[in-house]
Chains A and B, each alone.
Chain A
């Protein structure tokens, strides 16, 4: 299948094409459009601000012991709140409905979906989704992570185009990650290894650099004796875990001697909990009794500037943006830019720019299947459905295999098509498309004839919508299948005026169920 380059780029660097962006790419040319997307204004664009302000998410629960019932349409009120403002949601002694405690996740998910559909800064939204998965936390079912999620999302937005070393420290000191990977309760003595391990395996060097089945002693790892270990083993995990002891959050924990931390949910460094003795990570010695946080920061330096990290993260970026199995030449080029700019404040912007402008990114089609979030956003965009986000749509997305901020494992959602082609996910894809078209969840009535009015045959309608959505011409089999679905004979005219809306809707929905629309 061949589709125009503009369309290919919008599938990869945006949540699909909408008419306005297609026009803009056409007018500016691909390179200038990419450059504009690489330099978004901070915050939401004015249209986005309005849309976010207009969202109302239903919240409903019965009265419980110590709290009253609620049944209201509530705006998104928590997105800008500091973690300290939301920390009371984690207080088990304060009676409250579970929905209130999970509300921050619901609001961030709503904003994420709405931005994916409508934000002018599409590439930023694509990257924010990437980084949320790279630095995955699971806010579903965990009150503290839910309360910290708005701050975590804002942090990711700040660093999405920034410097990876700075990004790592922002993640390592975030309340969401400190809770999710348990570092908040790690102490000298027997450190909690969860964060140290996943920092190495998932956030930085990657599992290909985990050489534990090859080497039992740190000194045997190639390069270790020169302070440049090629990879890591469990001994590095133990030592990295020790380096981060004392990195915690103000969660009211006792400090001994009648003192305790305040309960704000904010980052804290507790010297008394830190393991101050000498360490060795990746073949590099750490002297004992360093200044506060110096041990952890040194680990972050070592991993952020390690060549395995460059290769691992760049491979993941290319996989997300371009293809499940990205071209090696593209990964190599991105990795070189990563290393060359590793001290630059806009390191990631330069890497993403190199990928976005690369010839490999303008070739090939069908090397990925859209994830449900991409499917919903690209469908609303492509069809021109002026959708808002409702709790009904969010619930449906939750059940589609891609519950936003609700993936249990620290890997983030799988980024290869096999996972997204299970029978369950496929059924949910069909449901999402139909429901959005026919307003099952109150996301907005869609009147296709306002965009594509006038008398036309069913074949014409299929051809027009198919090309609008996918950029490709519908083949005879596709046209025939959709006509049979509408029980329309070849050459039959659609109904006159607004009466054609239901027919157009079904045609559109079927066009969005084609391989041409689900692949990218």
Chain B
């Protein structure tokens, strides 16, 4: 098996510890491996719409009646029981109601006022920092350009390639070689042009020492790891995927992505990391309409995935994150500009769900960050660190995965 690493070709880092680790992981019972699905809502998901403090007077005052989640009227938010801030009537957005049931089953934990301990309101700086497990932008200039998932996989090697459901990898998997970008799995991962193409290409790249040739050689290998496990009909065509428990995936970016992850999970190839990136949360205008549509698609897809994957719950954890929340007060376009604190979600069979974690800082002017945005009281890395500690026994390596991060007191989000 070829265990090349795109990163190493480019950075020249030594390949020492790698090959052995990977075969070791393959030798272990791959079916028992835990799977981590990292969902990144790109663009800055409005946490105040996703998990709304519906009766907070500042929320009511700063967001017009049509731009906030209501606790009354024709489409009220979906209430959630919680001990985080007992006087606040937190509700999920009505379109996110499918997640409420999973919350009630105590599989889903919610976190408010989470994010970067860094004041950036730039999408691209914030995403870069989070993808790389950093807080301080000085870290972006030095080395350390690999992602936090790359570092996790370095200490916790995976039998299967890491998966991204978009055409390319997120920076959280930056420089991780054994990876596949699979926007759609329905027709498999074959090559066009007949059966001679693949062996020809394999021969063409066999001796390559440049980044293109090495990546190409590796892709041919990784494709086989998935493609050869795909159930096929007698005609050689990939069999239609049939979700369990009457789960339905819609033809949306979210629907396709979660269907692909479910399909890979059930192939039992030892999937350890899957990255689901959902675009389109940058709602500078028409917040109410645009958020409803996207949150509905996303929530239905995540709930479908959870139901479809019921047999895997005990070794499945899903983390949902975003680069920042949005401004409390809406703008004249009926949208909300870039803000600070946002919402994270952790979903899994070993997650202590049914609760809102973290400290709710409130929305009074004096409590806002820079006087305008929900503050951040929980470092996003604290959330990730708890998941990695409980589910990947990575507690000893947190300093390596999240450079410069010192874990605080555990919140008890997940268990081993």
Contacts and interface: CB of A to CB of B under 8 A. Distances in A.
Interface of A: 1, 181-182, 185-194, 197, 201, 207, 210, 212-213, 216, 234, 237, 366, 369, 399-401, 408-409, 411, 414, 417-428, 430-431, 434-435, 438, 477-478, 480-482, 484-487, 509-510, 513-515, 518-519
Contacts of A423: 179-182, 189, 218-219, 222-223
Interface in B160-209: 164, 167-169, 174-175, 179-183, 189, 191-193, 196-197, 199-201, 203-208
Contacts of A485: 196-197, 199-200, 203-204
B193 A424 contact: no
Query: A-B pairs with the 9 shortest C-beta distances?
Result: A485-B200, A481-B203, A187-B332, A424-B181, A185-B333, A421-B215, A401-B167, A422-B181, A194-B284
A513 B191 CA distance: 13
A190 B328 CA distance: 12
B115 interface: no
Interface in B204-249: 204-208, 210-213, 215-216, 218-219, 222-223
A191 B333 CA distance: 8
Given A197-B121, A369-B212, A481 B200 contact: yes
Given A207-B122, A482-B204, A514-B204, A425 B197 contact: no
A269 to B, nearest CB: 16
A409 B123 contact: yes
A426 B119 contact: no
12 contacts: A212-B120, A212-B122, A369-B211, A409-B43, A426-B219, A438-B193, A484-B200, A484-B203, A513-B201, A513-B204, A515-B212, A515-B216
A482 B200 contact: yes
A192 B285 contact: yes
B279 interface: yes
Given A425-B167, A485-B203, A418 B175 contact: yes
A364 to B, nearest CB: 13
Contacts of B175: 418
Contacts of A513: 201, 204, 216
A425 B181 contact: yes
B211 A430 contact: no
Interface string B9-22: 01000000000000
Nearest to B135: A213
A378 to B, nearest CB: 14
A411 B125 CA distance: 12
Interface string B264-298: 00000000000000011010110000000000000
Given A189-B332, A414-B168, A484-B200, 8 more contacts: A186-B333, A191-B332, A194-B337, A197-B121, A197-B337, A213-B118, A481-B203, A515-B208
Contacts of B330: 190
Contact of A185 (B137, B199, B213, B332): B332
Interface of B: 6, 10, 42-43, 118-125, 136-137, 164, 167-169, 174-175, 179-183, 189, 191-193, 196-197, 199-201, 203-208, 210-213, 215-216, 218-219, 222-223, 279-280, 282, 284-285, 329-335, 337-338, 370
A508 to B, nearest CB: 13
B6 A418 contact: yes
B204 A210 contact: no
Best-surrounded residue of B180, B196, B219, B331 (most CB of chain A within 10 A): B331
A482 B200 CA distance: 6
B124 A430 contact: no
A201 B124 contact: yes
Contacts of B208: 515
A518 B212 contact: yes
B137 A186 contact: no
B279 A212 contact: no
A422 B168 contact: yes
Contact of A213 (B119, B180, B338): B119
A407 B43 CA distance: 13
A100 to B, nearest CB: 22
Contacts of B43: 409
Contacts of A426: 215-216, 219
Contacts of A478: 204
B120 A190 contact: no
Nearest to A480: B203
A17 B272 CA distance: 44
B76 to A, nearest CB: 26
Contacts of B332: 185-192
A408 B6 contact: no
A213 B168 CA distance: 29
A182 B285 contact: yes
Among B164, B216, B222, the one with the most A-chain Cβ atoms within 10 Å of its Cβ is B216
B192 A435 contact: yes
A513 B10 CA distance: 20
A205 B304 CA distance: 44
A421 B211 contact: yes
B139 to A, nearest CB: 11
Contacts of A430: 191-193, 197, 201
B331 A477 contact: no
